[in-house]
Amino acid sequence: MQRILLIEENEVYRRLLKQHINVIDPLAQVVDHCPVRDGLLPYEFAGSSYDYVVLGSLADPSQGPRWLDDLTRRVNFPPVIYVTDIKAIDQLPAPAESRALGVLYKDKIDHSRLRELMHQAHERRRAEIRRQRQSPNGDRLYRFGDVLIRGERCIRQLAVSALSKVYLAESEKVGRLVVLKIFAHVPDVAEKHATFDRFLQEYQIIAGINHPNVVRIYDLGVADDHAYITMEYFPAGDLRARIRRGMDPGQAPQIVRQMAQALAAVHEAGVLHRDLKPGNVMLRQDGTIVLIDFGLAKQVALEAEITANGEIFGTPYYMSPEQGHGREVEKSSDIYSLGVIFYEMLTGQKPFVASTPMAVIYKHTHDPIPQLPAEQAHWQPMLELMLAKNPKDRYADALQVVEALDRVLALPVGPQTPAIAGNV
């Protein structure tokens, strides 16, 4: 079965091109990419999972030849069939004609010519793949350090820790860039290694949650005695960097709303995040936010507690008082962390800071909740409930946070804004 990447901004014409392709090959899998909706193709993207690319028209006609030139210069990129608005071939900007496998004209698609180009592209791609696989260095593209994972093309290492290594990769199965996380070691089953169990839970629990604000987990596998996960990649970065650059406090409520909706979904699945912080809140190119890194997540109803009694996980700046002291945590602990992030987005500052982690934990437990500046004071009642020292005094669940946000957003901002109902 052929797999084709179709790049076209006009939705109506995108459907038309798909129809042309599927008439010629009913089994072809056409994956569409709309630059306005999906953004630019990352420069690391090599199209390794596609037989060929059909590059259609863009909103700015002058961008077509530039896209063509960029894509066809990428190493091992599949052949490109170029569909252009330009009427005559001699009017195409050089080197558009020479770099494309073939050119079609948008006003009247030559069906037989499209069939011919599809066949040529498929045959050329098959020959290129055979050459790559027969090359002595053919496996080099799929090596992540000492681990060989065929079907995942290694681009570069992103991070490393004692537990795992994280890479940017291109998945031939998914057809896009992914984050690939490799566990440092797969222990013997008899070891009952807690960190490995948590790693498996990260996939098994979160992969089953289908929510727009929860990271997409694509695959789990084992290669060379190492377990690995592939998950969604976020080239737009994380909320931590956005806060550091300086953000409009007016954006904070909608971001918190999306985070609360995601927490409601994971809590409903019986999962606690336990490490909610701006570095674990990613940004999609369309502006939506996504919660990631549930490596510290656990099932609320898990019969056998994996972590040792009193063991502390998470980041002290965003920890609830109970988590900081190693006590049992519930959904309200994630809501507390959400409140800390809310305060930081509104003010640009963390509510509790100190020179040591234990001093920060002490402040979370004993210091009064800081007051927001006057222009943000209408959010203070919500923060009082989110950051309450006693978990029972906080919102009962994340959906109550969403409802409270909506009520405040619907009210005129002023000094007499009423308090927001909490856990009643």
DSSP states of 114-153: HHHHHHHHHHHHHHHHHHHHHSTTGGGGGEETTEE-TTEE
Is the per-residue pLDDT at 179 higher than 80? yes
Query: pLDDT value at position 369?
Result: 96
Render the burial of 301-320: b for 16+ CB within 10 Å, e for the rest.
eeeeebbeeeeebbbbbbbb
Q: How many CB atoms lie within 10 A of CB 66?
A: 13
What does the mean pLDDT of the chain come to? 85
pLDDT score recorded for residue 195: 54
pLDDT for 105 equals 85
370 pairs with which residues across the strands? none
In order of start, what are the domains of the chain with their CATH numbers?
A: 3-134 (3.40.50.2300), 140-232 (3.30.200.20), 239-409 (1.10.510.10)
The fraction of the chain above a pLDDT of 70, given in percent, is 85
pLDDT in tens, 297-325: 444 333 333 344 444 445 789 999 999 98
**What is the per-residue pLDDT for 55?**
94
pLDDT digits (tens, 9 = 90+) for 182-210: 987 655 544 445 555 665 666 777 888 99
Cα 229 to chain center, whole Å? Answer: 13
Please indicate whether residue 66 or residue 309 has the higher confidence score (pLDDT): 66
Segment 376-394 shows an average pLDDT of: 96
Q: Residue 310: its pLDDT value, please?
A: 42
Q: Tell me, yes or no, if 397 is annotated catalytic.
A: no
281 - beta bridge partners?
291
Higher pLDDT, 184 or 176: 176
User: Which is the catalytic residue, given 32, 51, 238, 275?
Assistant: 275
Instruction: Check whether 344 has a pLDDT greater than 60.
Output: yes
22 has a pLDDT exceeding 50: yes
Strands 298-299 and 271-272 come out as antiparallel
Q: Which amino acid is at 351?
A: P
> Quick one: pLDDT at residue 87?
59
pLDDT, position 286: 85
The CA distance from 208 to 266, in Å, is 10
pTM: 0.80
For range 316-345, the mean pLDDT: 94
329 vs 24: CA distance, rounded Å: 58
Look at residue 254 and tell me whether its pLDDT is greater than 70: yes
Identify the weakest region by mean pLDDT among 19-33, 89-103, 352-366: 89-103
Asked if the model's pLDDT at residue 169 lies above 60, the reply is: yes
Which residues are bridge partners to 164 per DSSP? Answer: 183
Angle 408-413-415 from CA coordinates, rounded to 5° = 110
